[in-house]
Chains A and B, each alone.
Chain A
Amino acid sequence: MSQAEAITDTGEIESVSGPVVTATDLDAQMNDVVYVGDEGLMGEVIEIEGDITTIQVYEETSGIGPGEPVENTGEPLTVDLGPGMLDSIYDGVQRPLDVLEDEMGAFLDRGVDAPGIDLEKEWEFEPAVEEGDEVEAGDVVGSVDETVSIEHKVLVPPNSEGGEVVSVESGSFTVEETVVELDTGEEIQMHQEWPVRRQRPTVEKQTPTEPLVSGQRILDGLFPLAKGGTAAIPGPFGSGKTVTQQSLAKFADADIVVYIGCGERGNEMTEVIEDFPELPDPQTGNPLMARTCLIANTSNMPVAARESCIYTGITIGEYYRDMGYDVALMADSTSRWAEAMREISSRLEEMPGEEGYPAYLAARLSQFYERAGYFENQNGSEGSISVIGAVSPPGGDFSEPVTQNTLRIVKTFWALDSDLAERRHFPAINWDESYSLYKDQLDPYFEENVVDDWSEQRQWAVDILDEEAELEEIVQLVGKDALPEDQQLTLEVARYIREAWLQQNALHDVDRYCPPEKTYAILSGIKSFHDEAFEALDAGVPVDEITAIDAAPRLNRLGTTPDDEYEEEVEEIEQQISEQLRELY
């Protein structure tokens, strides 16, 4: 949010109740940004009724009282778009937290505004057009090296009429200086603004066919997400939503990552700020931070800014999509966002819907997820935004409104499970309940780029896990030893699938990222154990002897075997398994 807005009208505070303030005598429109009180706290108009304007305030309102002024900027809540957003951390209304720290110290005071991008910094602008070129909205007129990883494309604003280039600059400029001028008199700078609640235009949404490769075995292997797809991760506290989101932010093969900490812990954001500059992006080897934009509106920061942080994040994402990049956006947690809506709605004394959430909850959720997709952009390039939303259901009960409304929209569902988490089976994604509706449309990609029997092998694993689930019910009644030998063996194979393949330690330097080839290879190793073991069983070897061979447990260590060694290791294990089993008959 930049600060230069002119004041269009001034009114007076009528009442204050937490983050909700009403004003009288204010000429305003819905969603106008206003400055509230003597300290000029930033707020947004959310209701107009007769002479009374209701405002949600993005900062603490303690001590603010009736009679103080309210100034209207006459502009909706916007974000500043331009080079400098990557490697940044913002609050929910795009104020850079490092700038705020410089200005007010370690604690967040109020009444300080700061532009989302550095207006003074000079960037090396490299033009992509010449005088006489015709350009239209969305076209690339030049670029700057924003970070070591990302070339920032300077675009004709989406709502421009276009025209012929009459002058173009090259060299060092600030984001406010004009770099291209059109015959219509329009001046193009590297800085744009865009209202956060409005989707940036595109040509069309396409069917996604490429996976967002996550480096997580259970996700890539069983429940893949598409580039441009949507996913929800619901789960009770402590089940692994944040760890999963962070793993995706670190390892997913996106060009740009927008990570929104929405109403969650301060330390979690600090962890990202400390880790990401150190960790390499698996694709480029550059620091992860060079492709990342962080938005942190932690649980103790003002609740209205929590409501807006989701929009701030997705608008930034859309801007990079317009440049033709694949963007992955994580929102942790969408439940806190929904609760912010609920809190404000109840202060407005709106008619509550289910569990006190406003009646428009479902609509807001779907508007948000609708902004995800694989798009043809205005400039003809293709770009995507994948959206992954964490959901924090009260009591871990998925029947509540936020989970249910989210499930109706998203196409990938990663259900976290407290039982698995308690057993320290991580990621605690329940393979029975989770699903991906992209699976079939992504198979061709995996089969072409990884291995041709990708989907067959996945089906094999799914079948074994299904069989295990059925057998477990019997085991609960009679114990494992009462089962026929072949079924006991199936259980053993299923155990390897769970322990060696599904489990993945996000905290282990090697295991935390597993390329799809390795995902496939580990499962192959387990499958050859399965095949050999059943041959041995058929040949009359007792199941206890089969399961006692010491080569098989080595499968459990494949996850932590480095990328350049696992192939050899799988081969060796397969060979040993085969030898050891054949010795038994």
Chain B
Amino acid sequence: MKEYQTITEVSGPLVYVETDEPIGYDEIVEIETPDGEVKRGQVLESSQGFVAIQVFEGTEGIGQDASVRFLGETLKMPVTEDLLGRVLDGSGNPIDGGPDIVPDERLDIVGEAINPHAREYPEEFIQTGVSAIDGMNTLVRGQKLPIFSGSGLPHSDLALQIARQASVPEEEEAEGEDSEFAVVFGAMGITAEEANEFMEDFERTGALERSVVFMNLADDPAVERTVTPRMALTTAEYLAFEKDYHVLVILTDMTNYCEALREIGAAREEVPGRRGYPGYMYTDLAQLYERAGRIEGREGSVTQIPILTMPGDDDTHPIPDLTGYITEGQIMMNRDLNSQGVTPPVNVLPSLSRLMDDGIGEGLTRDDHGDVSDQLYAAYAEGEELRDLVNIVGREALSERDNRYLDFADRFEEEFVDQGFRTSRSIDETLDLGWELLSMFPKAELNRVDEDLIEEYYVEDAASEEEAAAAD
């Protein structure tokens, strides 16, 4: 293999090299500094006699005296079932002191798009045990459902709760352990503290055994973050589509990933898109998020829960915005609910699961699920809206009907959403709780629910119970 000592320019994460042979686009490069350190990079642009390289591990120490080797292949992830239980760095090298990884295959990390014709529509209900999700924004196997959070909010706790509790109810009874998920965890630029939180939980619950952990921490090279999720997803696809696992992929924090993209774009002096992020960020993110799903004729599945922190809690910021345009819904964390002590602080109104409708109902969850969730939404939205008004005119100025909606909104948050990070509710418990709350209203008010279902599930004495409680 030819070595070049022809670096002409180093700029931010980029290195420009003159070459005298054709170099493939996206190819992997090793750069060795005079003191023997080897860094890896990738060809971003290849022209006759000249290439631009993006270096993953930071360009410190690289100068014109460094030597450059082109490996003649694109970046690969060595995969094997033995990765389960292992902790790797952001580029896929073991950091847990365990044995070397003997790969079964080495797969291109860019991954190929799943042919839409080969996909199977996801519709198997995953019970996360979290009412705000199961009841109102149901997750299904093969879905990509991100958590939109803000800095300082307990999104990690929610992600861990899901990883711990997620199961597919029917199979649980039939085959015991089979319904458990393998977890692929990809950390990008999170703090060591956050990372420890995850690791401790994985170890304590024994989840580590069925997990593959990729760690790129805050003080690891930023550019490596563009590789980490691809390594994680390549591993997930392998486990799902070749080894029949149901894989849950948690990626955190996508915001750091996007910052890294921005950094590279800026270094390349590209025309920036909105707020300085590259114009191709939609496509780039789609190439990650679309790597979720089910494939006809294969046993396994890839379910993705990416986490992102919205800069300034602003969901129109390009990172959450572009994500929302690609994923199949979103779970929104809310700062006000968090300060009220609601855990998990999920605001169900702007949350959404687009694959919910096909994953719920008779034979899947329960016949009343769709209607109950519709009605809970409508009622909570109405109560929420009235809260603004009540601040101005006071409760007395509102009708009895309006007051009931206000009470409902309070109880919905306190009883339905605020369940704590340690409670796991079955879907029946969640829906029954929903009925208890809905039964605060007269039947005629429940216009989103089928009349037969009202007859079956309405809790007749709920209204009077509540009045009695109020009288105390």
Give A residues with C-beta under 8 Å from B: 13-18, 22, 60-68, 89, 97-98, 100-101, 104-109, 236-238, 261, 263, 265-267, 269-271, 273-274, 296, 298-301, 303, 336, 339, 342-343, 346, 352, 355-356, 392, 394-397, 418, 422-424, 475-482, 499, 507, 550, 553, 556-557
Contact = CB atoms under 8 A, between A and B. Distances in A.
Interface stretch (B44-52, B162-170, B207-215, B406-414): B44-52
A269 B110 contact: no
A300 B113 contact: yes
Contacts of B272: 356
Contacts of A342: 273, 279
Nearest to A272: B116
B389 interface: yes
B321 A237 contact: yes
Contacts of A507: 357, 370
Contacts of A482: 393, 397
19 contacts: A14-B48, A15-B45, A15-B47, A17-B46, A62-B24, A64-B25, A66-B47, A106-B114, A106-B296, A261-B116, A266-B114, A267-B122, A267-B355, A270-B120, A300-B291, A343-B283, A423-B378, A481-B398, A507-B357
B243 interface: no
A106, A109, A301, A482: which has the most chain B beta carbons within 10 Å?
A: A106
B114 A16 contact: no
Which of A395, A481, A550 has the most B CB atoms < 10 Å from its CB?
Answer: A395
Interface string B84-103: 00000000000000000000
> Interface of chain B, helix or strand or loop or mixed?
mixed
Interface string B252-282: 0000000000000000001111100001101
Contact of A300 (B286, B316, B355, B447): B286
Interface of B: 22-27, 44-49, 73-74, 108, 110-122, 142, 241, 270-274, 279-280, 282-283, 286-287, 290-291, 293, 295-296, 298, 316-318, 321-322, 324-326, 328-330, 349-350, 352, 354-355, 357-358, 370, 374, 377-378, 381-382, 385, 388-389, 392-393, 397-399, 402, 444-445, 447, 451
Contacts of B382: 423
B373 to A, nearest CB: 9
Contacts of B287: 299-300
A481 B397 contact: yes
Contacts of B330: 238
Given A65-B46, A98-B117, A422 B349 contact: yes
Contacts of B318: 394-395
Contacts of B115: 97, 100-101, 104, 106-108
A495 B395 CA distance: 22
B116 A270 contact: yes
Contacts of A299: 282-283, 286-287, 290, 326
Contacts of B111: 107
Given A16-B45, A394-B318, 20 more contacts: A15-B46, A62-B24, A66-B49, A68-B22, A89-B116, A98-B117, A106-B115, A263-B286, A267-B119, A270-B120, A274-B121, A296-B116, A301-B113, A339-B279, A342-B279, A395-B316, A397-B316, A424-B377, A479-B392, A479-B397
A377 to B, nearest CB: 33
A101 B370 CA distance: 35
B22 to A, nearest CB: 4
